[in-house]
Structures are given as C-alpha cells and as structure tokens.
Amino acid sequence: MHGRKLCTFLKLLPVLQALWFPANAESFLSNTLIRKDQVQSVLEHRPIDVSECENPKVRFCGCSDISMCSQVVFKPTGPIDTTMCDYETVESVNGDLFSNIHELVKTPFFKYFQVDLYRDCPFWDDHGSCNNPGCAITTVDESEVPLKWRARALSKVDALVENRHELPGCYYRDSDFCWLDDNTDGDYYDLTLVPERYTGYSGPEAHRIWRTIYEENCFGLSEFSLMDGKAPAAVTLPDTMTDVLREDGVNNNQCLEKRVYYKVVSGLHASISTHICAEYLNQTTGEWGPNLHCFVNRIASHPERLQYIYFNTVLLLRAVARLGPYLSAYDYCSTGNRQDDVETKGLLLNVISIAQKAGKFDESALFRGENANVLKEEFKAHFRNVTRIMDCVGCDKCRLWGKVQTTGIATALKVLFELDEKALDPHTNANLLQRAEVVALLNTLHRFSESLEAVNKFRRMWADMGSPESEQLILEAEKAAIPLPHFSSGVQQRSSLFKVARKRIDTFFHICRKNTTEYVAKLSNLCARGLNRISSILQLSGKDSGPGTGTYEEL
C-alpha cells in the first residue's frame, strides 16, 4: 500500500524535473549567454595541419546542459566530444574532402533527387507557406533523368523491399531511421541548381518547425532504465567511450544515446544556419554573399553549435568509411558513357579514403545493455518523426534540402547502428540501400564539408576587419543573446513546459515498480533542483518586453 502511494506521488516528479532540466536544453531553443572571448576563440582560430587522428581518446565536457559550462571558452582544438578524432584532423582533411565531394555531387548520379514535396503535413493542418521568391524551386523534366533512375524503374526496385511499413507515397523498414519515398509520386530536382541559402522563410511558422524537431527528444522508459546512475547490467564498454558514458560529473539523467541525438539535430541546425549566412541576400544591393554579422549571431557567439558541425561531419565520415566496399561496388553508370562512370568512381574513392582517415567514431559503444534495443527503437521512431516534420516546412527549397539532409543523416545512423559487416557486403546484399539513400548520404556530407569551408571564409573576413568594427559586432551579438527559451510568447513557453511534464508523467507510469526505495533519493534531489529552477524562473530578467523571438527561426 505504501509503495503504491509513493508510486503515485512520484508521478509528480516529472513536473519538477521539467522545471529543472527543460527538454530543449543543449538545443537552439535554449540560447546561452555570450561568454567572454568566445567569438574571438572561434574566428581567430587558425587550423593546424595533421595527417591523422592524433587524439583518439574520447572527450566530454562534463555537463550535458551547456548553460552549466558558461565559464568554458570553446576552442576548436583537441578531441571532438564523443568521437575518436580531433578538430585538427577534420580541418586538415576538409580541403581535400570538399574539393572531391563538391565535384562528386555534380555528377549525373548524385545531382538528381526524386522526392514528393507536397505530401500533407501529419502534425498540423496549416503548415504555412513562403511567398518569397527565394523559396521557389525548379523541377527537372523526367526525360532529362537517365532511364534507370526514373520513377517506373525505381518503383520496381522498391517493390522488392520486404517487411516495410507503409503510408501513402512513403514507407520505412524496421532498420530505417527515416521515411523513404516509394517513387510513385514526386518530382525530380537537380540539386546543383537549387543552392541551400537564405530564402526569407522565417517567423512563427519556421520557428514551429525547429521547436517541433527539438521536442522529439523526449525518451521514455529505456532512458531511465539505462541511465540511473549505474549500469543496469554488467556491461563493459570499449575504453574509447567508457569515460563518456560513466564519467563523474556527467549528468546521468541523459544517456549517451540521447546526447548523440541532440548533437545530430543541433549539428544539422547549425550547418543550415551557416549556409544561410554564407549565401545571404543583401536587401539593399540585391547581391548574394557571406554575412559575417549573421554568422557571429547564429554560430560564433554560441560555439557549442560549431562543435556539433564537426561532430556530424565525423559521424557521416564514419558511415561512408564503413560503407566503402558497398559504395565502391555500386552501379553509378547513367548515360552509357564509360568515362562518366570512371569519373564518378574516382571521386568517390577519394572521398572514401578521406573518410577512412578521419571518420573515427565508435558506434559499438551505443545501444548496449539491458533495454538497449528498446532505446534504439525509440531513437529510430523519434528521428523518423523528424523526417516527417519536413513535410510541414512551408518553403519548397527548405523542404527539399530538409528532406535530403534528414534522409542522409538517417542513412548514416542506419549504417552505423543497424548493419553489420555481413549486411554491408555488396556481393550478398546488393540492394541494401535505395538510390535516394546513397544520393542523400553523400550530398549531406557535402553540406557539412561546405559549412566548414564557410567557417574559414568567415575567419578570413574577421581577420580583415578593423578593431572598432569587430568590437561593435561582438557588442551587437551580446545584445542579441537571449538567456531564456525564445518561444514567441509566454503562453507557448508554459504550454511547452507542461507538454514535457505530461510526457514525463506518462514515463513514470511505466517505470514505477514494486521496489521504490531507489527513487527516494531521486525525489529529494529533484525537489531541491526543482525549487532552484522555480526560483530562477521567478527572478526578473531585466527585459521589460519579455523573451525575444530569437534569431534561429529560418531554415
């Protein structure tokens, strides 16, 4: 009887937990304050050339909530969090990587992408629209696409896929981290003719897209089972990531898999923001070009976001490295011209070689132990939802690149966490990946490599800037920093808070067990932290107008 009463009371704990650690922590919905010298640490950094990963030991900041690291000044040197590589290695290979993959994605196989951009949004009725000319997009007539890649031919291949879960026009297999088009509808696009850049798509509709994406981070039973301060079972992880998973000082309310999920999503957001700033429309002159002010406000003043770009780059490189034999055996011939095939494979082999050098990520350290399979299924379900959220984007160009890149990341996740060496054997599993997955994976890696190239351009712009102008730029960035989540209204903020609380109440319904002794300590801990969180919320922010609208709404 007493156990049931305590169990009932514990159902209220998620409310306190939500107050103490909001779901949007470590995401762009929680802006950190400008830290001293952090803009300079990003923009004044000069890449160091090395030939291979010199710092294979995994490194972790020691706090999953970025605001807890407010005194840390990020410098892009040393090991990259939760990987087995360092910033120097990525920077040293990115020049060659970009030059090769930039040419690769121009080849016939990799530049054509078929997708249905007009599927109904599954999450809300009114997904808005972008009337700005920058959102417009041009399709390619199917006659221009090689015969073997047209809808009819691809549909025959898709029909061979077994055990798939279907919705009108799309499906996923149990191993997939995304929804895939079934090639029965949709148009063809030449990605080289649709640059990812500033479109003018912003405001509440764009903000709702990112808010919904970040809300896909609420993991349930499996997270609490796996990460409750001690391993749920006798599990020995490789030394490369043991420190990350069990290091003293790490917030144990977040499992490693969830932290990786945050980095993946925030890294995608950071990369897209970098592209927007790199190709920004000057409203006065009508010219396109890099906007340093945009980059400082969106990325350099919050350098943890730059970390996530590096992290995703390593993740994608690792997937390409593992997929090397399969990609090498893939049929890229399209026009009947053998020279085209030779050129494509030559560039691809160069990319694979670079990936094998810098793609150092230990995927075997994730999804281990009791309930690990449950956690993996949750991870997949959440990321599948992210790919469906792309159907709600109101800007055609943004929706296209959103679909390409979420499919590319989902393909990388599948290669790393679902496929063993036997499955990756091209001789026994030639139809392992759909053409769209291969195209999306390499184009997504190109997007991240191009982001890192853009960062170096911004560094050169900063170096050429005079001291008074650079100081003014930092001052403006400090004024733009918002310490509170930048929901468009207090009502939305409260609504999101209670939404998270409700989800976590549901979680405790499942995890409350007969033996409740272990939760007494958690009750005391969460109560104290919850009261501290309430106290901080009730303090005046000093901003009479309340929370701002933020600067990360555009896609």
Express each pLDDT in 188-227 by its tens digit.
Answer: 999 999 999 999 888 888 889 999 998 887 665 433 333 3
Query: Radius of gyration of the chain from Cα atoms?
Result: 23
Q: Considering 480, 498, 514, which residue would you say is the last residue of a domain? A: 480
Same domain? For 126 and 70 the reply is yes
Same domain? For 81 and 8 the reply is no
Q: Classify 146 in phi/psi space as left (phi over 0), alpha (psi -120 to 50) or beta.
A: beta
**What was the pLDDT predicted at 254?**
60
**What was the pLDDT predicted at 339?**
74
Same domain? For 62 and 95 the reply is yes
Same domain? For 298 and 424 the reply is yes
pLDDT tens for each residue of 299-327 = 988 888 999 999 999 999 999 999 999 99
**What was the pLDDT predicted at 539?**
41
Same domain? For 530 and 458 the reply is no
Which runs of consecutive H residues, i.e. helices, occur in 323-371?
324-329, 338-358
Same domain? For 194 and 343 the reply is yes
Same domain? For 442 and 327 the reply is yes
Determine whether 193 is exposed, middle or buried from the number of CB atoms within 10 Å of its CB (0-12, 13-18, 19+). exposed
**What was the pLDDT predicted at 555?**
55
DSSP state, 86?
B
Question: Which domain does 516 fall in, by range?
Answer: 1-22+485-555
Output the pTM of the full model. 0.75
Tokens of 156: 């025959």
**What was the pLDDT predicted at 62?**
32
What's the CA dihedral at 161, 165, 171, 174 to 10 degrees?
-70
**What was the pLDDT predicted at 454?**
97
Cα(253)–Cα(227) distance, rounded to whole angstroms? 6
Tokens of 245: 């998973």
Residue appearing with tokens 């896909």: 216
**What was the pLDDT predicted at 68?**
34
**What was the pLDDT predicted at 551?**
42
Same domain? For 369 and 262 the reply is yes
Cα(320)–Cα(327) distance, rounded to whole angstroms? 8
**What was the pLDDT predicted at 429?**
85
Same domain? For 269 and 310 the reply is yes
Cα(464)–Cα(104) distance, rounded to whole angstroms? 32
How far CA 106 is from CA of 62, 375, 442, in Å, comes to: 42, 38, 11
Q: Considering 451, 480, 509, which residue would you say is the last residue of a domain? A: 480
Considering its fold, how many domains does the chain have in total? Answer: 2
Q: Considering 462, 480, 498, which residue would you say is the last residue of a domain? A: 480
Same domain? For 328 and 272 the reply is yes
Same domain? For 312 and 390 the reply is yes
Cα(414)–Cα(160) distance, rounded to whole angstroms? 19
**What was the pLDDT predicted at 43?**
82
DSSP state, 212?
H
Catalytically active residues are: 395, 398
Same domain? For 466 and 535 the reply is no
Residue appearing with tokens 């970025």: 66
Residues of the chain with pLDDT below 70 are 1-37, 48-75, 126-128, 151-162, 218-254, 334-337, 480-555
